[in-house]
């Protein structure tokens, strides 16, 4: 990940869960059977492959709140079928930022507007990269438990633990050569009762000390267009919160949202 909030970011573009069978996915990574069973249970608890496959247009706001102060907010729209993407927010100096791109070409053909003016040259390249990083980071924070069976994800079962009176079954995730930071490690804490992931720990690839391990509690699980998503993640002391607002989904496309300002037609699909 490339921004200074120091949160994890991995690339799992496309996210068409129904495209391949679970068995085909598992054959491509080191996954022990008990961990795979838990990952499947989690996916089913979130709605299952068929429900995710029907979810075409996904909208959400990603907000970072620290000490009760909102530090950042980015508005996302993703057409998961053809890869079109829109992200809006603010630059570091407070200007309106709009980025339109396609995740399938890693934003190489994207367009950017800063303060209402279309960017070019180095500024264009800078914000193309920034927009793609936002896609990677923010969608992973929203969707990670449903993606444990993705290609290149190694799963290891680490047993059952009890913390603060709550029981969890723990799956460790490591990665083959995928994403921007394949050296990251995650621990998914799955409720034996609900099958939902209620906590994750992570150590980023440039962190070496045991105390670098960070914990976020996943809560506020709600059904969105047939799938269940956690809309609030917070540190155990609630000092930092990742909030997802204005979350919605549909089975249809929304071409209008991907139109450049003033243009009569949307960005062509890849």
Outline where DSSP puts E strands in 119-152. Answer: none
- Rounded CA-CA distance 60/244 in Å is 6
Q: At 208, is the secondary structure helix, strand, or coil?
A: coil
Residue 151 has pLDDT above 70, yes or no: yes
Residue 121 has pLDDT above 50, yes or no: yes
Q: Could you report the per-residue pLDDT of 211-243, keeping only the tens digit for each?
A: 689 999 999 999 999 999 999 999 999 999 999
- Rounded CA-CA distance 91/87 in Å is 12
Residue 187 token pair:
């621990």
Contacts of 12 (CB under 8 A, 6+ apart): 140, 147, 150, 178, 179
Percent with pLDDT over 70 in the chain: 83
Q: How many CA atoms lie less than 13 Å away from 98 in the CB half-sphere?
A: 10
pTM of the full structure: 0.86
Category of 75 on φ-ψ map: left (φ > 0), alpha (ψ -120 to 50) or beta: beta
Q: What is the per-residue pLDDT for 12?
A: 34
Q: What is the per-residue pLDDT for 1?
A: 30
Residue 270 has pLDDT above 60, yes or no: no
Residue 16 has pLDDT above 60, yes or no: no
For strands 84-90 and 197-203, give the pairing: unpaired
Q: Which residue has the tokens 């053809």?
A: 82
Mean pLDDT in residue range 137-147:
97
> Would you say 87 and 76 are in contact if contact means Cβ atoms under 8 Å apart?
yes
Q: Could you report the per-residue pLDDT of 30-81, keeping only the tens digit for each?
A: 889 999 999 999 999 999 999 999 999 999 999 999 999 999 999 999 999 9
> Would you say 29 and 153 are in contact if contact means Cβ atoms under 8 Å apart?
yes
Helix (H) or strand (E) holding 44: helix 33-45
Residue 76 token pair:
């996302």
Mean pLDDT in residue range 172-180:
81
Could you tell me the pLDDT band of residue 3, with boundaries at 50, 70 and 90?
Answer: very low
Q: What is the per-residue pLDDT for 27?
A: 43
Go through the domains of the chain in sequence order and give each one's CATH number.
31-246 (2.50.20)
Helix (H) or strand (E) holding 35: helix 33-45
């Amino acid at each position: 990940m490339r921004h200074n909030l120091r949160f994890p970011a991995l690339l799992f573009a496309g996210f068409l869960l129904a495209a391949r069978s679970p068995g085909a996915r598992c054959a491509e990574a080191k996954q022990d059977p008990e961990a795979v069973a838990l990952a499947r249970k989690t996916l089913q608890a979130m709605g299952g492959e068929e429900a995710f496959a029907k979810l075409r247009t996904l909208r959400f706001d990603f907000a970072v709140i620290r000490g009760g102060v909102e530090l950042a907010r980015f508005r996302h729209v993703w057409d998961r079928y053809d890869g079109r993407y829109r992200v809006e927010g603010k630059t570091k100096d407070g200007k309106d930022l709009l980025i339109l791109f396609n995740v399938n070409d890693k934003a190489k053909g994207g367009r950017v507007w800063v303060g209402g003016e279309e960017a070019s040259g180095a500024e264009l390249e800078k914000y193309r990269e920034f927009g793609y990083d936002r896609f990677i980071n923010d969608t992973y924070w929203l969707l990670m438990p449903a993606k444990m069976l993705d290609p290149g994800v190694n799963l290891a079962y680490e047993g059952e633990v009890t913390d603060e009176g709550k029981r969890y079954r723990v799956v460790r995730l490591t990665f083959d050569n995928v994403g921007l930071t394949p050296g990251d490690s995650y621990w998914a804490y799955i409720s034996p009762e609900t099958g939902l992931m209620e906590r994750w720990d992570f150590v980023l690839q440039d962190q070496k000390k045991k105390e670098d391990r960070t914990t976020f509690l996943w809560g506020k699980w709600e059904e969105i267009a047939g799938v269940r998503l956690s809309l609030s993640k917070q540190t155990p002391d609630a000092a930092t919160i990742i909030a997802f607002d204005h979350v919605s989904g549909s089975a249809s496309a929304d071409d209008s949202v991907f139109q450049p300002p003033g243009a009569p037609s949307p960005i062509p699909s890849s």
